[in-house]
Amino acid sequence: MTWNLASRLGSAAVTVAAVSVALIVIGFGTGAELLMTIGIVAGLAAAAWSILQVVRRGRHREALATFAVSYGWEFEPRTTSYSGRFSGPPFESGLRRRQEDVLRGSFSGATCATYTHVYEIDGNRTSASGATLGWAAFGDARLGSAMLSSGTRGSRVEEFQVTLVELPVDLPRIDLVPEGIGARTLKLFGGSDVDVESYEFNRRWRVVAHDARYAHSLLDPRMIDRLTQPDVEGVALRIDGGALLMWSPGRRGTDDLARRLSLLTSVARRIPAHVVREHLEAGLGRGDDRPIPPTAPDWATTPGALTSGRWTGIEPGPPATGEGWRGLPSGDEDFDIFRIGWRR
């Protein structure tokens, strides 16, 4: 379920144009009467479209609230709690930034969220990023060509659907965007373009990071293999603010939420253990508020004198070898980023 300002204006323009041509064909006239009629038709079309959008938004919000109740998630109609957390486009663009239709819950052992990031563009003022980012040929989370616009007169609202999984560590920002994004738009992301030793990967992706060494450490063979699978093609990914996220223009419902979350959690689980270990040892671990997995034993969740009543995430497994973060397996084959202890 997606819709945005461009589709609304395009539909309205097509409707008015069609009515105008029809009036001329039937001989209604070409003078003041025709112009007045076109104006009335345009006004009625705009009013009808606005009412339709209100109804659609209401149904969309009701569907999200029903989903939250059915699956034990949390629903919040509007918040600003994510404002300022993520950097780069589209999060630093526009004015009056907010998050609407927020869903929070757990999926495959990870704390997750999805929401619509909304901001307003005032053509008479300069946005935070100095430009606004709009996308064309974008559908079903597939990114096509990009367009830049700035200094446009008039105001408008831009909406982006954000889906994320929380990570137990603050990793440096890195962007993975489809190869066809274009050089001008790529400059908005900052950082340097990084290539890896994989023709197929370089053909699909543009990697933007401030630290090339970190990017190469993150993009090991296991991660490259995951990112060259068909389900990831055309998706814009970012690690930033202690989360792995994907974002796309417009609003989305819950029809494909499981697919988005499955993609994100599987990519997160390919983050190399040594990258996580390095940043945990640097004191960049995050808090321990995460979902209780179904494998947690009863004694770990039962309140009592010797327990906190919260599952710590420590489960039996191969002992760590060598120096490093305590309890973190040294081999990637034993590593699950969502099952390590989050406490520093």
Give the pLDDT confidence score for residue 215 in this predicted structure: 96
Q: Please report whether residue 160 resides in a domain.
A: yes
Q: Are residues 32 and 103 in the same domain?
A: no
Domain final position from 229, 255, 272: 272
Q: Are residues 165 and 189 in the same domain?
A: yes
Cβ atoms of 271 and 337 within 8 Å: the answer is yes
At residue 99 the predicted structure's pLDDT band, cuts being 50, 70 and 90, is: very high
Q: Are residues 54 and 133 in the same domain?
A: no
Q: pLDDT, tens digit, for every residue of 213-222?
A: 999 999 999 9
Q: Are residues 205 and 247 in the same domain?
A: yes
Out of 90-94, 125-129, 169-173, 174-178, pick the least confident.
Answer: 125-129
Q: Please report whether residue 281 resides in a domain.
A: no
Cβ atoms of 87 and 173 within 8 Å: the answer is yes
Q: Which two tokens stand for residue 28?
A: 């209604």
Q: Are residues 88 and 107 in the same domain?
A: yes
Q: pLDDT, tens digit, for every residue of 219-277?
A: 999 999 999 999 999 899 999 999 999 999 999 999 999 999 999 999 999 999 999 99
Distances (CA, A) of 264 to 135, 175, 195: 22, 14, 22
Domain final position from 37, 53, 72: 72
Residue 74 has pLDDT above 90, yes or no: yes
Q: pLDDT, tens digit, for every residue of 118-173?
A: 999 876 654 444 444 544 333 333 343 333 444 445 678 899 999 999 999 999 99
Domain final position from 39, 72, 105: 72
Tell me the backbone φ, ψ of residue 192, rounded to 5 degrees: -120, 150
